[in-house]
Amino acid sequence: MQNDNLDQVHFPVKDQLHTDILEEKYGPIHAVVLRHDNVREIPIGTERIREARLVDENDILRTYALTFLTYDKGNEEIVKIDDEIRTGGLIGKTFKENGYVVKKNVVDVFIIEIPSWMKVDFKSDVNQAKARLTEFYAKKEGNTPVIYGTVLEIYSPDFRDPTNGINDVDIAQINPSTDSLKSAGVPTDEIWGRLDKASEINKWDDLQDKYKQAQKLSQPIVESLHNKISKFLETKNI
């Protein structure tokens, strides 16, 4: 398996997209949408999900992406963008094409046991993969940032070697969830501004008390996300 310095590169939480990084290594990448719920048709309280394969020109899976859609379906502009994404658009590129700035709030980085079907799709005999959970933010000038959804990305072992584990770069980028930060008294606009720093220094020195409170509040939220992910992947083995 190829082992390069990509594992130590900062995950792009702003400006550069994940697909940009994939294309630097593998060439053109496109999304094969396996599932994308239409929010107009989903009852209130029901999980809204997007599931996609990010593949190269040889149809080799480079990233498996599972998104829990959380945006307000009353936001007609976001709904229209979601329609574009549902028909095969890449999330980040589609938002940027519609005049939005996008950022990500990393809430966890971990090593995951992957099911046999995913190993086949990765064309790998490795049993584990590196994964990342992020909140996908989008903002148009003059508007309040919105969170499109919480995204799980499971990376091809060829792209991110799971045997390298979770490094200092990964750990430095992890923040509490947005709901946790807001509950601790940090407004959304403030969180949005801090995400610029999250790509490198990720310091909240002037908000340490609120940040520590948010970290505690975030733990059960992240655990709940892990449970939802496990249950969803288990259903695909049936």
In a domain, 35, yes or no: yes
Contact status, residue 79 vs residue 69, Cβ threshold 8 Å: no
Tokens of 152: 């799980």
SS3 of residue 207 by DSSP: helix
Give the integer Cα–Cα distance in Å for 120 and 237: 13
At residue 141, what are phi and psi to the nearest 5 degrees? -50, 130
Contact status, residue 68 vs residue 149, Cβ threshold 8 Å: yes
In a domain, 195, yes or no: no
Q: What does the chain come to in residues?
A: 238
pTM: 0.91
Other beta carbons within 10 angstroms of residue 96's beta carbon come to: 15
Tokens of 111: 């090593």
Q: Give the CATH number of the domain where residue 160 resides.
A: 3.40.1410.10
SS3 of residue 131 by DSSP: strand
In a domain, 181, yes or no: no
In a domain, 134, yes or no: yes
Q: Which helix (H) or strand (E) holds 68?
A: strand 61-69
In a domain, 79, yes or no: yes
- Candidates 231, 5, 12, 4; CA nearest to 105 is 12
CA distances from 20 to 30, 90, 109, 168, 229 (A): 11, 11, 20, 23, 25
Give the integer Cα–Cα distance in Å for 48 and 68: 6
Q: What is the pLDDT along the chain (238 residues), one digit of tens a residue?
A: 333 444 545 566 666 788 889 999 999 999 999 999 998 888 877 899 999 999 999 999 999 999 999 999 899 999 999 999 998 888 999 999 999 999 999 999 999 999 999 999 999 999 999 999 999 999 998 899 999 999 999 999 999 999 989 988 888 889 999 999 999 999 999 999 888 765 556 678 788 899 999 999 999 999 999 999 999 998 876 4
In a domain, 82, yes or no: yes
What strand order describes the sheet that includes 146-155? 30-36, 49-55, 61-69, 146-155, 128-139, 101-113
Number of structural domains the chain divides into: 1
Beta pairing partners, 129: 112
The whole domain housing 112 covers: 5-175
The model's pLDDT over 166-212, given as tens digits with 9 standing for 90+, comes to 988 888 889 999 999 999 999 999 999 888 765 556 678 788 899 99
In a domain, 204, yes or no: no
- Candidates 194, 84, 193; CA nearest to 148 is 84
In a domain, 64, yes or no: yes
